[in-house]
Amino acid sequence: MSDTPLTKDQVEALLLRGPFHQWLGLTVVSVGEGAIELKATWRPEWVVNAERGYTHGGILATLVDLTADWALVSKTGRGVPTVDLRVDYHRAAMQGDLTCRGTVVKFGGQISVAEARILDAEGRLLASGRGVYMTAPAK
């Protein structure tokens, strides 16, 4: 577990080790005790319906999962494996960058729970969800 809080830049460096996270265009806006805010830069490859131009739900689910996961970084110092995930869709995500906010609900020595909200540029809720994560110490 992390004894010293990681800075925003340190968290971003860890997060962006993953090529998929790089592809998502993620940046860390802020990191706090049990909380994180990320920005995801919109990509045309996210579009599932060319006529309507909205983002595929899998992208939103991905953002819920990784945001909730990385909300735990203030406690773990690292990303952690997902055990279970629930996602609710509230409205179609149209073209534009997304704000992703995650918070820890319950931190445990083996299993933890965190939730996330994905918002559009106007602050409208697009998707939300809750994940269960394996937070046992890395071996």
Domains of the chain: 8-134 (3.10.129.10)
Look at residue 3 in the predicted model and tell me its pLDDT.
61
Is it the case that residue 2 has pLDDT exceeding 70? Answer: no
What is the pLDDT of the chain when averaged over all its residues?
Answer: 94
What average pLDDT does the segment 79-83 reach?
94
Is it the case that residue 136 has pLDDT exceeding 70? Answer: yes
What average pLDDT does the segment 119-139 reach?
94
Look at residue 65 in the predicted model and tell me its pLDDT.
98
Predicted TM-score (pTM) of the model is 0.93
- Measured CA to CA, the distance from residue 65 to residue 131 in angstroms comes to 7
Look at residue 34 in the predicted model and tell me its pLDDT.
94
Question: Higher pLDDT residue, 57 or 4?
Answer: 57
Contact 138, 112 (CB under 8 A): no
- Could you read off the pLDDT of 19-76 as tens digits, one per residue? 999 999 999 999 999 999 999 999 999 999 889 989 999 999 999 999 999 999 988 9
List residues bridging with 114 in a β-sheet.
Answer: 104, 131
- Measured CA to CA, the distance from residue 132 to residue 114 in angstroms comes to 7
Is it the case that residue 1 has pLDDT exceeding 60? Answer: no
- Measured CA to CA, the distance from residue 129 to residue 112 in angstroms comes to 14
List residues bridging with 9 in a β-sheet.
Answer: none
Amino acid making up residue 17: R
Which pLDDT band, with edges at 50, 70 and 90, does 138 fall under?
A: confident
What average pLDDT does the segment 76-89 reach?
95
